[in-house]
Homo-oligomer: A and B are copies of this chain.
Amino acid sequence: MSKPPAESSPVSPLEPDGATVRRMGMRILDKLADWVDGTPGRPVLRSDGSARAARRMVEPAPEEGTPFPGLLARVMNEVIPVGLDPASPGYLAFIPGGGLPHAALADLLTGVVNRYTGLWRPAPALVGLEVAVLRWMCGWVGFDGPDAGGILTSGGSIANLCAVVAARDHAEVDDLRTLVAYCTAQAHNSVLKSTRTAGIRPSQVRTVPNDARFRMDPAALAVLVAEDRAAGRVPFLVVANAGCTPVGAIDPLGALADLCAAEAIWLHVDGAYGGAFAMTARGQEALAGLDRADSITLDPHKGLFLPYGTGAILVRDRARLQRSFTVQASYLPEPLVHPDHWDFADMGPELSRPARGLRIWLPMKLHGVGAFRRALDEKLDLARVAWRRVLELPHVRGVAAPELSLFAFRIEPPGRDADQVTRRVLREVGKMGRVLITGATVYDPALGASVFVARVCVLSFRTHQAQIDALLEDLSMAIERVVASG
């Protein structure tokens, strides 16, 4: 039987009528309601049987259909539970991705109506909604001019790619091999990936030394730029971190903006993790100078707690994106001239794209910016509390204090390999299943060496004081065990 009758209309199995869509949707909602209510009690990590579970999924394409309830049960019971749960309140690893259910509900709507938002004309009001969301973001980061703009991408990596390509084209060199970009060793791996994608080799991306707080050293940058200019190379791009992934450092944006302005170098700020904090008063202060960047990456699927699938590139002058990405075609309508009618296809690498605006607009309109600001402020508070309490644990040395909601530390019992001890402690904490934290290898100027650090990133919208308490209890116990086990 190729058409499970319960899930298809008489017309065609691919064309369920409204009642069928509602019925299937309600089944999914029932499962998801249970899943949401069960979230606090589930372990953050379930790695047993991973390989087996994955192997079971690799099966031949099915010629015939399978009834829906069994498929849904399989997905919820065998597929989803295996691995890491970034939607868990105890997920303090990497940079937490969100999972705001309202955004997922918005996606359901977006998918069924399937409007096309690559260009303005096919969906003027839906594009208008997305333009509104982008203008809100521009406002938060201080891009207040009428030419400011941007696009929503699938994530921070494509946003960084847009910035690199626009900066590259803005430099107007004939030979790409002459270009030089700058960032610290803490830059996100998408910076190197984006420059490579854009035809700029890894050797053309120079690592600028950082200070003891892992922030780019502007004086050191100035020296490198002068050196490159003297050698006939063309410095074209500085990528500054606004909350780097390994330890959370914010590069000195004001000083870098001064230097980039004087040297006519494009300043891109990678705020995939930290940029959203510009919505808060403390974030504004920590990110001073952000509004002087040429372009900024935000990741609403991190800092605005959305499910994966939405990053943003914001630019002070959107003509710079248009210059790089506008390509005409014989089958497309004429480009637009009205300043509020944006053709997103002319500002980024995509032509077809999912409509990404509603998943931000709906939760923002529903709860107001205030609710998001308060949630981000809570994460700032939690990180500060956690940092102070972690420093009180035995053998802990703080490596990077939280500038926003991310900090790093090491466990250094006398006479022991601190890298190894720190790794073992992370594993022990993970096994307890209540919270998950991960580490990174960084060059620590205090030690003059590369070291492995544990890091805590508080950015899940479900993380509250209870998870910080759990972190401290489990970390304390893990340190005790690992140190005792010798």
Is B366 a contact of A7 with CB atoms below 8 Å?
A: yes
A2 at the interface (CB under 8 A from B): yes
A108:B369 contact, CB within 8 angstroms: no
Q: Are B17 and A37 in contact (CB under 8 A)?
A: yes
- Residue A432 at the B interface, CB < 8 A? no
Whether A301 touches B352, Cβ cut-off 8 Å, given contacts A28-B108, A123-B83, A128-B54, is: yes
Known: A79-B129, A340-B55, A367-B65. A97 touches B116 (CB 8 A): yes
A246 & B189 in contact (Cβ 8 Å cutoff) = no
Most interface-central of A94, A199, A325 (chain B CB within 10 A): A199
Asked whether any CB of chain B lies closer than 8 Å to the CB of A197, the reply is yes
A345-380, CB under 8 A of B: which get 1 and which 0?
000011111110011001111111111100100000
Q: Find residues 194-218 in chain A having any chain B CB closer than 8 Å to their own CB.
A: 194, 196-200
Decide yes or no whether A150 CB sits under 8 A from chain B: no
Complex interface: chain B residues within 8 A of A280 (CB) = none
Structural contact, A311 and B352, CB atoms closer than 8 A: yes
Known: A87-B114, A125-B82. A193 touches B56 (CB 8 A): no
B155 near A352 with CB under 8 A, answer: yes
Q: Can you name the residue of chain B whose Cβ is closest to the Cβ of A8?
A: B367
User: What residues of B have a CB within 8 angstroms of the CB of A139 in the complex?
Assistant: 61
B107 touches A13 (CB 8 A): no
Shortest distance in angstroms between A295's beta carbon and chain B's nearest beta carbon? 16
Give the contacting residue for A29; candidates B26, B65, B104, B157; CB below 8 A.
B26
B125 touches A53 (CB 8 A): yes
* A456 at interface by CB-CB < 8 Å: no
Who on chain B is nearest to A272 by CB? B352
A22 in complex: contacting residue of B33, B50, B111, B370, CB < 8 Å:
B33
A28 to B128, CA, bound (A): 21
Q: Taking A57-B125, A308-B354, A353-B154 as contacts, is the C-beta distance between A372 and B176 under 8 angstroms?
A: no
| Contact pattern, A 439-459, Cβ under 8 Å of B = 1, otherwise 0 | 111100000000000010000
Q: Report the stretch among A222-230, A330-338, A414-422 that lies at the interface.
A: A330-338
Residue A405, interface by CB 8 Å: no
Number of chain copies forming the complex: 2
Query: Once the chains bind, are B353 and A309 in contact (CB under 8 Å)?
Result: yes
* B-contacting 9-mer, from A130-138, A284-292, A392-400: A130-138
Tell me whether A15 and B462 are in contact in the complex, defined as CB-CB below 8 angstroms, given that A33-B21, A108-B32 are known contacts.
yes
Are A105 and B24 within 8 A (Cβ)? yes
Among B100, B109, B246, contact of A28 (Cβ-Cβ < 8 Å): B109
- Interface hits, A153-167 → B, CB 8 Å: 154-158, 161, 165
Q: Which residues of chain B come closer than 8 Å to A125, judged between CB atoms?
A: 50, 53-54, 56-57, 78-80, 82-83
Q: Determine whether A243 belongs to the interface, using a CB cutoff of 8 Å to chain B.
A: no
Question: A340, B58: Cβ atoms under 8 Å?
Answer: yes
User: Within A2-57, which residues are at the interface with B (CB < 8 Å)?
Assistant: 2-4, 7-8, 12-19, 21-22, 24-26, 28-37, 47, 50-51, 53-57
Interface residue? A71 (CB, 8 A)? yes
Interchain CB contact under 8 A, B83 and A126:
yes
Instruction: State whether A114 touches B55 (Cβ < 8 A).
Output: no
On whether A439 and B105 interact (CB within 8 A), knowing A61-B139, A366-B66, the answer reads no
Q: A329 CB to closest chain B CB, in angstroms?
A: 4
A-B contact pairs, 18 of them (CB 8 A): A4-B367, A12-B371, A14-B371, A18-B37, A35-B112, A54-B120, A61-B140, A79-B125, A82-B125, A97-B114, A98-B114, A157-B351, A189-B328, A189-B332, A193-B325, A193-B327, A193-B349, A308-B354
Residues of B within 8 A of A332 (CB): 189
Is there an interface contact between A33 and B19, defined as CB atoms closer than 8 Å? yes
CA distance A301 to B351 in the complex (A): 12
A283 at interface by CB-CB < 8 Å: no
Residues in B with CB closer than 8 Å to A358 are 75
A477 at the interface (CB under 8 A from B): no
Docked complex Cα distance between A165 and B349 (Å): 13
Q: Would A353 and B104 count as touching, CB distance under 8 A? A: no
Q: A25-B26, A32-B109 are in contact. List 20 more A-B contacts (CB 8 A).
A: A2-B368, A14-B461, A21-B105, A24-B101, A24-B102, A50-B125, A51-B338, A54-B125, A58-B128, A61-B364, A65-B367, A83-B115, A86-B116, A87-B112, A97-B352, A111-B359, A116-B308, A196-B327, A245-B331, A302-B352
A302 to chain B, nearest CB (A): 8
CB-contact partner of A199 in B24, B98, B199, under 8 A: B199
